[in-house]
């Protein structure tokens, strides 16, 4: 019952191996931004783990060019060609 519900931007930086500015750029983009929430005037944002996982599935890319979502559904990279 110790499962985390939120992640900090710092947590995402560490997991994605990206800098803070890149994570905030993902949050500012117009198409499918990373959903960062600010609670009670906090200076640093929080992201729901479930939102982050869904965002990565939609936006993440594997080395072969497939999205994480396509790989999970079994779509073949050659078919996208």
Q: How many domains does the chain have?
A: 1
Give me the DSSP letters along 14-75. Answer: HHHT--HHHHHHHHH-SSS----B--TT-SS-EEEHHHHHHHHHHH-B-TTS-BHHHHHHT-
Distance CA 42, CA 1 (A): 26
pLDDT greater at residue 79 or residue 42: 42
User: Which residues constitute the domain of residue 17?
Assistant: 6-66
pLDDT in tens, 8-66: 999 999 999 999 999 999 999 999 999 999 888 788 889 999 999 999 988 888 778 77
On whether residue 76 sits in a domain, the answer given is no
Q: Is 17 domain-assigned?
A: yes
Pull the structure tokens for residue 47.
């992201």
CB atoms inside a 10 Å sphere around CB 17: 7
- Whether 38 is in a domain gets the answer yes
Is 54 among the domain residues? Answer: yes
Q: Is 78 helix (H, G, I), strand (E, B) or coil?
A: helix
Q: Is residue 37 part of a domain?
A: yes
Domain presence at residue 44: yes
Determine, yes or no, domain membership for 81.
no
**Res 80: pLDDT:** 47
Residue 75 lies in a domain: no
């Amino acid at each position: 019952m110790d499962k985390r519900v939120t992640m900090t931007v710092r947590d995402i930086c560490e997991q994605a191996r990206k800098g803070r500015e890149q994570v905030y750029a993902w949050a500012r983009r117009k198409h499918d931004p990373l959903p960062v929430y600010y609670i009670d005037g906090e200076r640093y944002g929080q992201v729901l783990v479930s939102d982050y996982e869904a965002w990565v599935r939609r936006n993440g890319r594997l080395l072969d060019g497939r999205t994480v979502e396509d790989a999970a559904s079994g779509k073949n990279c050659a078919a996208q060609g």
